[in-house]
Every structure is written in structure tokens, then in C-alpha cells.
Amino acid sequence: MFDRSLFFEHIPIVLAPWFPDDKPIWFILGHIKDAIYAIVNSCPEEYDEIRDGVFVGVNAKIDNHIEFYGPALIGKNSEIRHGAFFRENVIIGDNCVVGNSTELKNSVLFDNVEAPHFNYIGDSILGNYAHLGAGVKISNVLLVKNKKEKVEEAQKNITDGKNSPERKKIKIKMPDGEWVNTELAKFGAIIGDYAEIGVNTTINPGTVLEMNMFVPSSLSIGGYFRAGYVFPRSIIYASV
């Protein structure tokens, strides 16, 4: 159902141990911190620790005024531009671009990925050569229905000394209508190699795109999309 070859032509060598065949394809999302330190410890000469828990590969370009909450790993020849925000547990591959006002949290970008302008990437995996247009957001948490009731329940639990209610686990809707439970309360997307995502598109929690997908601008998508799926265009162009 989630054959790696449907998403990635290859998995970067340093990440391959974190994509075992007997685990879900999103297994690494629960182990990014461990993966970072395992990679650095296996080849410490290839990374400089520029601040506590933030490791940067050879020839990576790190602009000024970037906020890092480690741990984070940035591959060789990657460019991190002014105003990027790295929250905890982020792996950036080789030859990537992370740009202005792009926020990342608990995510893995393979090699040659571009997230250059005003992007949010939460609890997600992006394959080789994936590109996010300006303003693309990958949501990682389900919206809360009946929020007033949930808030009141949480407040009552605090008063009674109980734990707050757990968030719903995110499910992936398959093309045949079946739902696959990720067992994760926070899960954004798996985006295959060579994806092109148009500007201002919203990718909802539990989205999976196979390899070489083209998603037009200004859409809101969710679910599992097989290679070759043709998305409707959200913008109508006048005839000329």
C-alpha cells in the first residue's frame, strides 16, 4: 500500500536505515532526533555544529537572522535564507533551498528540495526535487469540531486533576474509500520525488502524493493521490 518505490527513486543513504520495510513509511517522523545524532556520529567530519544541536554540512550557506530550535541537520551545499524558522527535529538534505518566512517542524526534506517562500512544513517528508510554490502550507493537525465543548472539557479536567483529552489520530483516505490510521496526532504529508506544488495551495493533514505529481495553484487537497492523477485547475485562464 505504501511501497517506497512509488514515492522515491532513491532514499538518501544516510536516511535509508530510517525507512525500514517492516515499518510505516512515516516511521522516521517519530525518530528524527535519533536520526540526526546517528548521522552526525557516523561522519562527524562532514558537519559543523554552528550552535547547540544544529549541524551544517560542507559548503552550506546559512544567511543571517535565522531562528534555530535544535536539533537540526542541514546537508552540504544547501541554502538557508534570511528569515527561515527551524523548530525542533528537522533534517534538510543536500542541495536544498529553505527560504524567507519558511517554517519547518519535525520534518525531513530529501535532496534538492525547494521550499523558498512563505511555506509551512509540519510533520512531513518531502522527496527528492520536490518544490513548494510561494505560500504552500502543509497542515499537520486536524481542526477541532465543537471547540467550545472541547475547551470546557479540558478546563474541567484541569480542575479535576485529569489529563487533557487526546487529539484525534490522523487518517489517510485511500482512493478506494478505505481509511488508514497513521496513529499520529500530528501528521502532515508524504510528498514524492519531483512534485510541483503551485502557489498558495493548502495540503491538509494526512495527504500522500506519489512520485512526479503536479498540483496547480490555490487548491486545498487531502487524501492519497496516485501518480498520474490530474488535479482540477483552480484558476481559469482567458482564451487568447
Average pLDDT, the chain: 92
Q: Flag whether pLDDT at 240 surpasses 60.
A: no
Q: Kindly report, residue by residue over 154-181, the tens digit of the pLDDT.
A: 676 667 666 666 778 999 999 999 999 9
Q: Identify whether 116 is preceded by a cis peptide bond (ω within 30 of 0).
A: no
Determine phi and psi for 147, rounding to 5 degrees.
-65, -35
In this prediction, residues 196-218 reach a mean pLDDT of 97
Q: Kindly report, residue by residue over 130-145, the tens digit of the pLDDT.
A: 999 999 999 999 987 7
In this prediction, residues 102-114 reach a mean pLDDT of 98
In this prediction, residues 118-129 reach a mean pLDDT of 98
pLDDT at position 239 = 60
pLDDT at position 166 = 73
Q: What is the identity of the amino acid at 68?
A: F
Q: Flag whether pLDDT at 115 surpasses 80.
A: yes
Question: Which element (helix H / strand E) includes 215?
Answer: strand 214-215
What letter does residue 5 receive in the DSSP assignment?
A: G
pLDDT at position 153 = 67
Residue 162 cell numbers, joined: 485529569
Q: How confident is the model at residue 233 (pLDDT cuts 50, 70, 90)?
A: confident
pLDDT at position 80 = 98
The β-bridge partners of 173 are 179
pLDDT at position 170 = 96
Residue with the three cell numbers 479536567 = 157
Report all structural domains of the chain as residue ranges with CATH numbers, in order of start: 4-140+182-225 (2.160.10.10)
In this prediction, residues 1-5 reach a mean pLDDT of 87
Q: Flag whether pLDDT at 62 surpasses 60.
A: yes
- The answer to which of 54-68, 126-140, 222-236 has the lowest mean pLDDT is 222-236
pLDDT at position 110 = 98
